[in-house]
Amino acid sequence: MSPAERYAYDEHLSAIMIQNDVLDGVKLEGRMEGKMEGCIEIARNLKSMGLDTETIQKATGLLPEEIQKL
């Protein structure tokens, strides 16, 4: 492999690694967003059942201000 080919190969590998890092970050962000949406849905259900904010907070981990906005 010539030095130019080696350089092109290394650049290609570097681009692939960067792309994979970006995709991993997006996947993690999506999972976190989905988990948060799930907590909000649970909080809405608990609130509609008449549970108090403190109990909902313990069950979901949401802040009292977030629960009151629901």
Per-residue pLDDT of the chain (70 residues; tens, 9 = 90+): 899 999 999 999 999 999 999 999 999 999 999 999 999 999 999 999 999 999 999 999 999 999 999 9
Output Rg (C-alpha) for the chain, integer angstroms: 23
Give the residue extent of every domain in the chain.
Answer: 3-68
Q: At a CB cut-off of 8 Å and minimum separation 6, what does 9 contact?
A: 1
Strands (E), 1-70: none
